[in-house]
Chain A
């Protein structure tokens, strides 16, 4: 049996390949086979190739693009689609385990489908280290499948340290108290060359822009150290922190979920503690 994998040159694609190999001998269709990006054209190419090769399943990485193209393939072919799986076992039905709530909950499910369409949640299975699969050719797309295509690109607005690539993030929650309260967070971040983050409560209150929000509906981060100041640690926020190596939590409530899920905790008033950390760094410089 042959299995088709939508691939990019990245880790999540090689992780998807690991699960795909359980369903057959992989062939790959490249995400950049249609340029500029046109998701309907890619879905059309996957549908045609899947039929031509009579593949047992189609896989992609559970990235924004992977999920989007697979959902279009599902809509086009009238098949069910299981997004963000962390395990999949061939059979009828196919058994999958998939993420809900941004990974805060797992679901065991049966996928009843003649051709399973599955994306693999990023960083949940090891990457395939074998030889890359043989690539399939893609015919010139139909005009109708190019109506939705990228026509321009806008560079990011702010020049600050990016949350996604930051080595250190100093993040504030409801406990910071106000927009002005973030001055001490920004001061510490600037001393550390860190990015400033925040929780959803903070963006909803209008204290910080949404681009600073860490969490399930914000940015997922992977810093060396994440310093959480006055953040309770709702599942919405924790879903964005799974990649953080070390978490330092500062909170007046020692029972706050984030205090229980941190590596290091400081109990007390962040308005005293954060400036004291800044002062200590200055003293040692």
Chain B
């Protein structure tokens, strides 16, 4: 079995987002980075499938040189090797991101055969375009099921559960397929120390394509105005309990 998983390096934004002076990016000077939450579950699922079925797993990312940290994180969890499409730090729009990932996937498949499953997050945590996986699937002519909370391989097909209001919808599609997943698909493991050691020597293929002109072109970012909540203190400690109950009563809930 061959599995690919696409991830994206994003900042851990904490409590308040600060922008750069030109308002075209988040000021990440004091921030840590991670991969998008949905994709952590994609990596975990890929590792579990290869543990159960043997084979080859590859993690791909489009991102700056520093995104090698997230590739190593994925390999520490058990992914075999990585493909790093390096950018100069400028953001690529969803269309260009999908095209670059597609080219890397095609090159790997030409050398090693098709991936049975390509996992992506349903949407990235930062730009939230909701489309990269679907674009890759269409270009490859493969079925794509989105927003998955459960994935079960059954011979040459895959049963997929998608969260919807009032339960889950089920899809059964033939492999190979492109699956976009959501957090909650599984509980990702923590990397082990030996896993981190092994990740250091796993291979990473690097390419440096040039960025196409975006057709969805970022002009500027803004932090939306607050919701106008004015925190009213009800007091300190257990003595504030009656005041909390009054708030619930005023809201007609008791």
Contact = CB atoms under 8 A, between A and B. Distances in A.
Contacts of A68: 130, 134, 146-147
Given A83-B128, A211-B184, A234-B14, A268 B240 contact: yes
Interface stretch (A126-134, A150-158, A171-179): A150-158
Interface string A28-42: 000000000101000
B38 interface: yes
A151 B219 CA distance: 42
Interface in A198-247: 200, 203-204, 206, 209-211, 213, 216-218, 224-225, 227, 232-236, 242, 245-247
Contacts of A156: 166-168
Contact of A246 (B17, B236, B251): B251
Contacts of B210: none
Most B-side CB within 10 Å, residue of A235, A247, A266? A266
Nearest to B145: A148
Given A83-B131, A247-B229, A192 B241 contact: no
Contacts of B167: 153-156
Contacts of A119: 130
Interface string B158-183: 00010011111111111000000011
B135 A74 contact: yes
Contacts of A269: 237
Contact of B183 (A83, A107, A217, A233): A217
A100 B251 CA distance: 32
Interface of A: 37, 39, 64, 67-68, 71-72, 74-76, 80-84, 93, 99-113, 119, 147-156, 164, 167-168, 192, 200, 203-204, 206, 209-211, 213, 216-218, 224-225, 227, 232-236, 242, 245-249, 256-257, 259-269, 272-273, 275-277, 279-281, 284
30 contacts: A71-B135, A72-B144, A75-B134, A81-B129, A84-B128, A93-B217, A102-B128, A106-B223, A108-B218, A111-B215, A112-B216, A112-B217, A147-B143, A148-B173, A150-B170, A154-B169, A167-B253, A204-B187, A217-B37, A225-B251, A227-B244, A233-B15, A236-B37, A245-B251, A246-B247, A257-B15, A266-B244, A277-B241, A277-B244, A280-B241
Interface of B: 13-17, 26, 37-38, 93-95, 123, 125-131, 134-135, 137-139, 143-147, 161, 164-174, 182-184, 187-188, 215-224, 226-227, 229-245, 247-248, 251-254
